[in-house]
Amino acid sequence: MTLIAAKDVVVSFGSTPALRGADLSASRGEIVAIMGPSGSGKSTLLHSLAGILAPDSGEIWFDGRRVDTMGEPERSTLRRERFGFVFQFGQLVPELTAEENVALPLLLGGQRRAAALRQARAWFERLDLEGLEQRRSGELSGGQAQRVALARGLVCGPEILFADEPTGALDSLTGERVMELLVASAREHGTTVILVTHEPRVAVYADREVIMRDGLVNTLTPDRIGS
Ligand code: ADP
Ligand code: ADP
């Protein structure tokens, strides 16, 4: 069953066309990797699907409802209650400890501090981060910070996780480890994952790869092109 879909989505930034009629859908529990050259519209499509950016035309659907025509308060509730986000390395709040960073979505959702921190701490064991709870982001390695960001994206138990280059700036071994953790935790909870990556090594962890070119989604995988 389709959980989320973009239909014929058009987005321009001034005179620059970013999406020229992009289509993409994902089912519950499916992991979809969006690949393609720099500037092809990957991030713009991700942001449109996530209800962060309103398209010029086309439709965004989530769980049977139109997202692009919702008001901002309704979209913001959707993002907070049902979506999770992991963006590139460097997005942790430097003033907060690692556990406070993970707890942040729970605190913003109105949970009490003690309960939020308790839930956040459970992720440190799950993601092999024990002992790092009190560190600030500047005191974490790239791989550790990326796993903390992943925990923050999953802590609310989202139905869908949007990840933009979740392994960016990581060496390949650490990147693969982050993907294994993402896939394992998604599998356990049936979370849909939509991730943007330029690394084929990362995309192999997805159930399905799509390739963007010039603001359009080409659903043929490289293996199938020309066969
Ligand atoms: P990708 O993620 O594949 O690198 P993007 O979605 O970031 O591609 O960008 C698609 C096109 O839109 C590019 O030409 C880019 O320069 C342009 N673009 C993206 N975001 C903005 C923005 N905020 N302002 C102006 N142009 C933008
Ligand atoms: P709840 O409705 O309380 O989130 P769940 O059984 O869905 O109950 O989740 C149990 C625990 O697993 C919670 O602490 C939740 O944060 C965590 N969890 C939620 N989503 C994921 C996920 N995708 N991967 C791993 N753990 C998750």
For 180-205, the pLDDT digits (tens) are 888 987 888 899 999 999 889 899 99
- 44: helix, strand or coil: helix
Q: Decide if 1 is inside a domain.
A: no
How far apart CA 224 and CA 218 sit, in angstroms, is 11
Tokens read off for 156? 């609310």
Q: Decide if 16 is inside a domain.
A: no
Substitution site in 99, 106, 154 for ligand 2 pocket (most atoms within 8 Å of beta carbon): 154
Please give the residue range of the domain that contains residue 164: 31-40+76-220
**Percent with pLDDT over 90 in the chain:** 74
Q: Which ligand is nearest to the CA of 52?
A: 1
User: What is the tally of structural domains in the chain?
Assistant: 1
Q: What is the pTM of this model?
A: 0.87
Q: Single out the residue of 82, 90, 216, 87 nearest to residue 156, CA to CA.
A: 82
Q: Decide if 63 is inside a domain.
A: no
Determine the distance separating the centroid of ligand 1 and the alpha carbon of 12, expressed in angstroms: 9
Residues 6+ apart with CB under 8 A from 23: 5, 6, 7, 8, 9, 217
pLDDT at 220 over 70: no
Q: Decide if 11 is inside a domain.
A: no
Q: Decide if 151 is inside a domain.
A: yes
Q: Decide if 185 is inside a domain.
A: yes
| Residue minimizing CA distance to atom 14 of ligand 2 | 119
Q: Is the CB of 38 under 6 A from ligand 1?
A: yes
For 160-186, the pLDDT digits (tens) are 999 998 888 778 888 888 888 889 878
Q: Is the CB of 18 under 6 A from ligand 1?
A: yes
Determine the distance separating the centroid of ligand 1 and the alpha carbon of 215, expressed in angstroms: 10
Helix axes 98-108, 142-154, angle to 10 degrees: 20
Q: Decide if 198 is inside a domain.
A: yes
Integer-rounded Cα radius of gyration of the chain? 17
How far apart CA 44 and CA 54 sit, in angstroms, is 10
How far apart CA 159 and CA 138 sit, in angstroms, is 30
- Domain at 155, CATH number: 3.40.50.300
